[in-house]
Amino acid sequence: MPNYRYQIQTPKGEVEVGLVSADNATSASAILRNRGARVLQVTVVNAAESGEGLMARLAELNAGKPKVKHVLEFTTQLAVMLRAGINLRSALEGIADQTIHPGFKRVLTQIRTDVESGKSFSAALARHPKLFGPLYLNMVKASEMAGNFADMLDRIAGYIAQEIETRKMVIGAAIYPGVIGTMAVGVTIFLLTFVLPKFKAVFEGKEDVLPWATTFLLGVSDTLVSHWPLIIGCVVAVGGGLYALTRTEPGAFTVDKAKLSIPVLKAMFRSLYISRSLQTMGQLTNAGVPVLDVIAITGDVSGNRLYQGLWRSVYSSVKQGKKISAPLARTRLLPQAVVQMISAGEESGKLGEVLDEISGYYAKQLKDQIKAVTSMIEPIMIILMGSVVGFIAMAIILPIFKMSQVVK
């Protein structure tokens, strides 16, 4: 029989905590109420806390933290089970039992316990904000009031799946340039620190006939070989400093602004932020979430501080009684055609449908732009890598040709 940690308020008004054994959280709550206490919280004591599950805890740490894909699988399964007529408590218990990931299994067990103790499903989810964000919670709250729980979970699952697909496309577009760039740097360092020094003895005493490229690279090679600990330290320090700078608000704002200014990438990032913002806004609007909450959440999940500032200005404007399209008409972050469609959606009362159509268009445009960027970056990286390696190779070969001519 599992143990439950409880927090109760006695008839005298005092708050007490302790442990009680029961078949489930509902039984534990009933036992405590029979004592005349007011139940504040009932939480299952898992095996790791009771000192019986060290191996289970180690397995959980080894599996890592739960990811978005686990939330997607849970949401999809829960929607199917609820539509099949299974009640929420049984559905949560069934999903938790078949969940393999130990960390996510513990989260689901906690959610089930909270629901059994009388909390709403949205309140149980709110205890895990890293997995279930504001959009998820607000859509669940709206479905609890409207009674369309299964349909709303399907909509949430579709949103999460779209976000996962978008993230994969963006990461995939960055992998190839990253690999080529790493290879270029690695080959360059290898040539300068291992290959070029072997030719140094050949070139000694013949500095007058060496071209400037060879002289320059020999100097760089000597510096790398002689001071490599200092150079590595400087690179780490500069890299750490830049990383720390990007974690500050001014540094992060500069990075977000640069994403919208880089010639090759700005169109892709713009489509990404517009698609994400309008898709979030459309999903929440269709779910019946209050408009101010919709705008606040849209700003939080937009992914860029410039767009976050835009939606904050929209929030302030709408709070004063103005329309959403009014402040959007003064920004360059959204095309005027998009602003006009949002305005038409407000006038016709079909804002949610309009936002879904716009976000769908920009999601498709994002895919096309990622393909275009990838196709452009591949030859550029190959040319740069070939140029660097070719420059080093010519700097080694040219003086050999010159010395052979002098000998003749």
Q: Quick one: residue 128, left, alpha or beta (phi over 0 = left, psi -120 to 50 = alpha)?
A: beta
pLDDT greater than 60 at residue 54: no
pLDDT digits (tens, 9 = 90+) for 285-334: 888 888 898 999 998 888 899 999 999 999 999 999 888 988 888 888 99
Lowest mean pLDDT among 4-18, 121-135, 239-253, 265-279: 4-18
Residue 3's nearest CA partner among 55, 57, 43, 54 is 43
pLDDT tens digit sequence for 175-197:
877 888 888 888 888 888 888 88
130-157 residue pLDDT tens: 889 888 888 888 888 777 788 888 888 9
Lowest mean pLDDT among 44-48, 108-112, 158-162, 349-353: 44-48
The tokens describing 362, both together, are 């920009």
In order, the DSSP letters of 165-207 are: HHHHHHHHHHHHHHHHHHHHHHHHHHIIIIIHHHHHHHHTT-G
Helices 291-301/266-287 angle, 10° precision? 150
Contact between residue 89 and residue 114 where contact means Cβ atoms under 8 Å apart: no
CA distance linking residue 334 with residue 312, whole number of Å: 15
Lowest mean pLDDT among 50-64, 121-135, 201-215: 50-64
The first and second tokens of residue 371, run together, are 């393909």
**Percent of residues, the chain, with pLDDT higher than 70:** 91
Closest of 172, 174, 184 to residue 383, by C-alpha: 184
What SS3 class is residue 5?
strand
Asked if residue 341 has pLDDT above 90, the reply is yes
Residue with tokens 């999809």: 76
Dig out the tokens for 216 from the structure. Answer: 């320059």
Q: Report the distance separating Cα 116 and Cα 284, nearest Å.
A: 28
